[in-house]
A = this chain, B = another copy of it.
């Protein structure tokens, strides 16, 4: 007998609603996350089956929450759209989104070094918009052509938070960091090859930036940068 179903989880018998989560057996959906952390539960789709992602999404939806699923592949994206026909699946940014949070007061600039970094930059941008921020996109402004960056500088300076997305040697945050007085979050991407080591060089370069106060999230983690930026704009 072949068991295709991954596991045989059972819903817990206790009144889980009292416990601020809904127990699906394979997942305990956190329903009071917004009260605790200011932003609602987000679904990390990697390693989950399409059915698991959709079931968690439905639970959130039943409890009146908007839905953001990250790292959604094509198959899961299709299942998501089928379950939530009004949702949008952004194939390149690997996001499935249903609903949105109320518009806040914050403005976030998303600076992107090269065209190849766009999927990650868009993950950050779309997530930041989902979380209620206004987003300025400044794309393909890598440091090998400084004039491109400088043409965007006044716009960047006016935002509350800056997200810089870059691959290769990851020099963009160092240069931008020396020109602005705003919190900046750097997102290394896995664009590059050889000595780039799938983005580890970019990551470590950003962590050892000669500009002070650059904070960094994981490789290709546009979502994480948008989340952190929103925790900042929520202070305004």
- Measured between alpha carbons, how far is A93 from B4 in the docked complex, in Å? 10
- Measured between alpha carbons, how far is A91 from B4 in the docked complex, in Å? 5
Beta-carbon nearest neighbor of A192 in chain B:
B208
Q: A221: CB under 8 A from chain B?
A: yes
Minimum Cβ distance to chain B for residue A40 (Å) = 11
- Measured between alpha carbons, how far is A36 from B221 in the docked complex, in Å? 28
Q: A146: CB under 8 A from chain B?
A: yes
Most buried by B among A42, A146, A205, A227: A205
Encoded as 1 (CB less than 8 Å from any B CB) or 0, chain A from 22 to 33 comes to 000111101001
Q: A14: CB under 8 A from chain B?
A: yes
Q: A3: CB under 8 A from chain B?
A: yes
Q: A61: CB under 8 A from chain B?
A: no
A28 touches B183 (CB 8 A): no
Q: Which residues of B contact A213 (CB under 8 A)?
A: 39, 224, 227-228, 230-231
- Measured between alpha carbons, how far is A117 from B4 in the docked complex, in Å? 16
Q: A101: CB under 8 A from chain B?
A: no
Q: Which residues of B contact A117 (CB under 8 A)?
A: 47
Q: Which residues of B contact A170 (CB under 8 A)?
A: 169, 205
B194 touches A199 (CB 8 A): yes
- Measured between alpha carbons, how far is A89 from B3 in the docked complex, in Å? 6
Encoded as 1 (CB less than 8 Å from any B CB) or 0, chain A from 177 to 192 comes to 1111111110010111
Interface pairs (21), CB distance under 8 Å: A5-B92, A9-B139, A19-B148, A28-B140, A113-B210, A142-B210, A143-B175, A144-B178, A144-B210, A146-B175, A169-B170, A171-B174, A183-B228, A194-B218, A195-B207, A196-B208, A201-B205, A202-B208, A205-B205, A213-B230, A215-B215
Taking Cβ atoms with an 8 Å cutoff, the residues of A that contact B are: 1-7, 9, 12, 14, 16, 19-21, 25-28, 30, 33, 36-39, 42, 44, 46-48, 52, 56, 71, 77-78, 81, 87-93, 113-119, 121-122, 125, 137, 139-148, 151, 160, 167-171, 174-175, 177-185, 188, 190-221, 223-225, 227-228, 230-232, 234-236
Pairs of residues from A and B, 5 with the lowest C-beta to C-beta distance, nearest first: A47-B116, A194-B219, A38-B181, A171-B171, A213-B227
